[in-house]
Structure 1
Amino acid sequence: MKVPTALIGCLVERTAFDHQVRLNLSAPAAGGGHGVDAELIVETPFLLRDAGGEWHKLEPGSGVNLAPVLGLFGQSITAVDVQGRGALSIDFGDGAGLRIGPDAQFESWHLIGRGISPVIVGPGGEEHWQR
């Protein structure tokens, strides 16, 4: 699978959560036209570093405990990487960050939309990441 580096420069246009955490990400294309319009969907526990540098262990479906996710709204993605079997790292312009590891039993995260290659990290993770 391909590391989704096309997300660099995208803004978090929307945050939503219930039994999943969803981030809508978008960026216009250079020179006009269609750019990136993607959705990151997180389905298992993850780590969020807020702009102040504090780490939060968060779990989809945990209601008000997901409030730190709201701080990502309007932020720009500055770095994206995937390590090992699908551990996603995203850094934001204000110093915030997301870390979403693979899960042994469940799909941990997936990415869909226009301007990116779709990614699904299923149970146990995925191998052979291309940069």
Structure 2
Amino acid sequence: MSQALIQRGHQQAKKLLLIQAIIIMVAAAIGLLKELKVALALLSGGGAIFLANSFFVYKAFSKSGAQRSKQVVRAFYFGETVKIVLSAALMVAAFKFLPGFEVYVLIGFVIGLLGQWLAPVIIKTN
């Protein structure tokens, strides 16, 4: 039973990541109408949060079972810590490689966050 719940949660998390990726790609496509570097900046900002979330989903669902509850909690906290550090590192890299487009990188990051928050509204999660 618990393995089925974990599988269902993992599948829903992957669906949410897919919705987030689609939202980021649409934003980058709209940015492409203005300029290629704007699209790259939007994609970089959104990609920073998407990649960090992807790692978190992978790590959070890597352990399961009541017998391993301490390992589950440890994996969750480790995944969240790496998610924050990875997001920050990718944002710094985007700022460094796209000077003059920092605002678009931040907008892409915020769009990625909004995608993360709105994805459960867009798809049925239960």
Q: Provide the TM-score with structure 1 as the length reference.
A: 0.25
Q: Which has the higher strand share?
A: 1
**Larger RCO: Structure 1 or Structure 2 (Cα < 8 Å, ≥ 6 residues apart)?**
2
Larger Rg: 2
More helix by share: 2
TM-score by length of 2: 0.26
